[in-house]
Structure 1
């Protein structure tokens, strides 16, 4: 019986730490699977499996160069993740704003207590 696909979108694909590491390595430019496998301490078949998943969800692209296949980051596939995380930006701004205000209040209370 064939296994069901474990990834169907960028969110599921990047949930796997080794796939995130591959994306980080590919930020530096195209790399062959053998280099990626070596740098990640995994076998070439393991790296190829991860790359296939990343390619299927549109996070990497591949091109042939002689006998090699070079993989490159396609950050456009991360747009849904970016947009989802961006939705929390206002929350973080408000939270940090409240924290700044709290720290200012503490400092004022501290200096106000020593001045009197």
Structure 2
């Protein structure tokens, strides 16, 4: 069979909603035709027909006892489908936001974000960012082209808990003038003290490709730039392990390529 024909046959089979549901259900464990029928609300004849087609393209196999299982090939295809599934569930977002700045490795791993929740409310996005500080016990990692003023006072208690903070800024980032004027002496001292102790580390990149706030327990907010190259601070929130790992790996990728910050303009001079 020609390679293109094999691909189109595969895509045809998994494009059917019921067959895709069966494939995802079997990933959790083997089942009989009757079990599939009962669990997914299909007739026995429908379940049998769909299982036969999945078996024909190598996605599932049937044991001697009549139970059906996902093959290793089927599991590989499911992993690939997850990214497409995630993108299709958020077609509106990804039609207006660009991923060109992401390394291909992370584009290929987009399916790992399936356990995240889309946030389309700016105030809730800021709330999620604040929670990153309030709930952190080990670290806070952030890369942002702007910082909500409301997170500045949260630094003191975060540092007091022994939490380590990392920031990646754009190389030309400067805070609004009123920030420098409004920051309290206590907050200024806490930030400068954390810098001296190495509890606060800051690096810079020529251009930021993501807006990301996270701690060891949650992704407060992950957002991508719009097609106009700016952030609207709307994106995805999660406490699931797979999105957490994806974001940890992505942040580490950018951190390792960023340069140490040498100019500090966020706080008042000591």
Q: TM-score range by the shorter chain?
A: 0.5 to 0.7
Equivalent residues, number: 89
User: 1:73 and 1:56, CA in 2 relative to 1: closer, same or farther beyond 3 A?
Assistant: same
**Deviation string for 1:36-71 (max 9, x for gaps)?**
001111111110000000000111011112xxx010
When the two structures are superposed, what TM-score results if normalisation uses the length of structure 2?
0.29
The yes-or-no answer on 1:70 pairing with 2:197 is no
Taking structure 1 as the reference length, what is the TM-score of the superposition? Answer: 0.62
Conservation of the 8 A alpha-carbon contact between 2:224 and 2:231: no
Are 1:103 and 2:231 an aligned pair? Answer: yes
Larger RCO, structure (CA 8 Å, separation 6 or more): 1
Paired with 1:28 and 1:102, the residues of 2 have a C-alpha distance of: 40
**CA root-mean-square deviation:** 3.2
- Matching residue of 1:93: 99
Name the one with the larger helix percent.
1
Cα offset, 1:76, TM superposition? 1.0
> Highest Rg: 1 or 2?
2
CA separation in 2, counterparts of 1:26 and 1:74? 10
Aligned in 2, Cα 1:63/1:53: closer, same or farther, shift over 3 Å? same
Paired position in structure 1 for 2:25: 25
Q: Which runs of 5+ in 2 are unaligned?
A: 1-7, 85-97, 102-222, 233-270
1:82 correspondence with 2:80: yes
**What residue ranges of structure 1 are gaps of 5+ in the alignment?**
1-7, 87-91, 105-116
Deviating runs (4+, > 3 A) in structure 1?
A: 95-98
